[in-house]
Amino acid sequence: MILPWTDHPGEFLVFRTAARRRALVLALAVLGTTSLAACTAGSGQDGNRPGTRAVADPATRPDLRRFYGQKLHWRPCGDFRCATLTVPRDYDRPGDGETFALPVAKAATAVPGKRLGSLVLNPGGPGESGVRLLEDGVADDIGKGVRARFDIVSFDPRGVGGSKPALTCLADDRTGDEAHEAPLYPRTDAERADVLSDARATAAACRRASGPLLPHVGTDDAARDMDVLRAALGERRLTYVGWSYGTSLGTSYAEQFPRRVRAMVLDGAVDPSLDWRQRVLNQSTGFRDAVEEYADSCADVVGEACPGTTPGEIRALVDRLLDRTRREPLPVDGSGEGLDAAGLVSALSLSMYTPEAQWEGLSEALRAADGGDGTKLAALAAGDEDATDTDTDTDADTDAGPAASEGPTDDVPEDNGDAALMAVDCLDVPHPRGAQAYWDALAPADKAAGVYGTSGVTSELVCEDWPAGARRPHRVHAPGVPPVLVVGTTGDPATPYQEAVSLARQFPGGMLLSFEAPGHTGYGRDACVDEKVEEYLVSLTKVRPGTRCAP
């Protein structure tokens, strides 16, 4: 997902399939998915999981005691304090010596004498780095009342960012002639064969590079890591904010450890009861509607910078560019490939997250593209992000026993969010085996959301040939959890508002705070939302039913 405080994700992606996935999924966002990972029941035996009886505290298990008993050794790292958390790679076999070492960063409370504890953040994705979230300044944007009472803590989830080992998906060995220009709506047998071949090649390359890690990067395991982090921070109960996919992580934690939650804010909610096809339709319809809203509201947001004087002119421009890029890519400075229709859809989708910050740049890019230059749109499709230097050292020792295991490859990019997004989505969300189910979904997706829908369906094909997890869609089961605050933005393209409504209803005592605006997520974008969220985090003040905020 994309937060208001962070840069946009990604370089140009290694795989065309991955590029289209990230734009239409994100995963929170989301970015990232056409589906963000669901939070469903895991297959382990610890915690209060749906359909199982509550069992002994995993912290008391002899084979987990060394992980739960570790102490974080904080050291300076720029403006923050950093440490490393060691967690078992496989919670069913924690004594096998295979581990992840997860970087953790902390911005200490501004008023130590008033400290309530630690506030743990997750920026979403799946695949976004929590350490980078702090480096990008999130702590400075959190209200003074919260900063006075909490240390702000975040971490890189297993397989993500500075995690050791980390996921990667290396390029396959096919030549340029063997790779295919994927249509937005594959209709013929030949087009579908090409799309399926590309998706399977992507999955195969990920298995070659990260195969041993793929079964162990799901959301349930990441939530268990967060409980180990809670213990290592010295907290009896968890105070948590998760954006986008971070709501899936938070929901999984609440289901496994409901009585260890102090306060939980889930912003940009993912409904765990939806299957893969429902998620595709929900999110792709959200992006289509957001682009329509851009046409309608561009003048109100960016004024004369709009690429048309009326909504009709803007829609006509977008349609004209779609037709043009389907026939031939637009020239892009420094690129021999240019911007095709998939890249255009990516640029449009990624520009819907924070209208107040992105619509002016999108408008300029569309004007340039109408004149024949796709360079600015290509930059938007890539995320327009420069590599971020980090002075965070993730190699410090911990007290958890064995050092982190070596990964299957050392060739891991600085930002491996694309690989993580695919790995978590495919593991968490059950997908059909065999391509026919995806072809059957194309026509309904086209009817519901046009090119956003069909692109969403084909982007899921990579999961058709991926190691499967045991999770299933279900309604939240978290008996004993305190009231959870769900924030829903009415015009959210990546995590549509109706999913926030549904998730709030599924939690016992769940509270819904509605933000009446376009864009992805609400906390950090609006003073009214910030006030309600922060009163809840500090004082556990409940949000009344029907509470709404508007910019």
Q: What is the pLDDT of residues 354-401, one digit of tens each?
A: 999 999 999 999 999 999 999 999 999 988 643 223 333 333 333 443
Q: How far apart are CA 398 and CA 390, in angstroms?
A: 21
Q: Which of 131-135, 159-163, 172-176, 202-206 has the lowest mean pLDDT?
A: 172-176
Lowest mean pLDDT: which of 23-32, 185-194, 209-218, 268-277? 23-32
Cis upstream peptide for 355 (omega within 30°)? no
According to DSSP, the residues that pair with 265 across neighbouring strands are: 241, 485
Cβ atoms of 66 and 401 within 8 Å: the answer is: yes
Share above pLDDT 90 across residues of the chain, in percent, rounded to a whole number: 77
Which residues are CB-contacts of 509 (< 8 A; sequence separation ≥ 6)?
481, 482, 483, 484
Collect all residues with Cβ–Cβ distance below 8 Å to 518 and sequence separation of at least 6.
290, 293, 294, 297, 352, 355, 489, 491, 492, 493
Q: Give the model confidence (pLDDT) of 400-456 as tens digits.
A: 433 444 434 445 666 788 999 999 999 999 999 999 999 999 999 999 999 999 999
pLDDT, average across residues 464-483:
92
**Quick one: tokens of 145?**
């009342």
Q: What is the mean pLDDT of residues 280-293?
A: 97
Q: Which residue has the higher pLDDT, 299 or 57?
A: 299
Task: State the CB neighbour count (10 A cutoff) for residue 195.
Answer: 23
Q: According to the model, what pLDDT value does residue 174 have?
A: 52
User: CB under 8 Å to 300, separation ≥6 — which residues?
Assistant: none
What is the pLDDT at residue 182? Answer: 73
* Residue pLDDT, tens place only, 97-141: 999 999 999 999 989 999 999 999 999 999 999 999 999 999 998
Residue that wins the pLDDT comparison between 505 and 18: 505
Q: Annotate 408-445 with b (16+ C-beta within 10 A) or e (fewer).
A: bbeebbebbbbbbbbbbbbbbbbbbeebebbbebbeeb
- Length of the chain in residues, anyone? 551
The pLDDT of residue 63: 93
Residues in CB range of 442: below 8 A, 6 or more apart? 185, 186, 454, 457, 458
Q: Which residues are catalytic?
A: 244, 492, 520
Report which of residues 31 and 435 the model is more confident about: 435
With beta carbons less than 8 A apart as the criterion, state whether 36 and 126 touch.
yes
Helices within 136-244 (DSSP H only):
138-141, 144-149, 189-210, 219-232
Q: State residue 468's pLDDT score.
A: 80
Residue 494 confidence (pLDDT): 96
* Per-residue pLDDT at 286: 97
Q: Tell me how far apart the alpha carbons of residues 389 and 14 are, in angstroms, rounded to a whole number.
A: 21
pLDDT at 171: 66
* Type and span of the H or E element at 86: strand 80-88
Q: How confident is the model at residue 28 (pLDDT cuts 50, 70, 90)?
A: very low
**Per-residue confidence band for 469, with pLDDT thresholds at 50, 70 and 90:** confident
Average pLDDT of span 521-529: 96
Judged on CB neighbours under 10 Å (0-12, 13-18, 19+), 35 is: buried
pLDDT tier at 59 (50, 70, 90 boundaries)? confident
User: 391-407: per-residue pLDDT in tens?
Assistant: 333 333 334 433 444 43
The overall average pLDDT reported for the chain is 85
Can you give the pLDDT at residue 175?
A: 47
pLDDT at 47: 40
Residue by residue, what is the 3-state secondary structure of 118-150? EEEEECCCCCCCHHHHHHCCHHHHCCHHHHHHE
How confident is the model at residue 385, as a pLDDT? 44
In this prediction, residues 454-471 reach a mean pLDDT of 91
Q: Report, as an integer, the average pLDDT of 533-542.
A: 98
The pLDDT of residue 336: 84
412, two tokens: 């891991």
As a whole number of angstroms, the distance between CA 128 and CA 8 comes to: 11
pTM: 0.87
Does pLDDT of 262 surpass 90? yes
The pLDDT of 53-72, averaged and rounded, is 81
Contact of 518 with 358, CB cutoff 8 Å: no
Residue 164 has pLDDT above 90, yes or no: yes
The pLDDT of 241-261, averaged and rounded, is: 97
Q: Is pLDDT of 298 > 80?
A: yes
The stretch 243-272 carries a mean pLDDT of 97
Alpha carbons within 13 angstroms on the beta-carbon side of residue 50 total 22
Position 110 scores a pLDDT of 87
pLDDT of 287 > 50? The answer is yes
pLDDT band at residue 495 under the 50/70/90 scheme: very high
Q: Given a cut of 70, is residue 12 above it in pLDDT? A: no
Distance of CA 230 to the CA centre of its chain: 21
**The pLDDT of residue 55 is above 60:** no
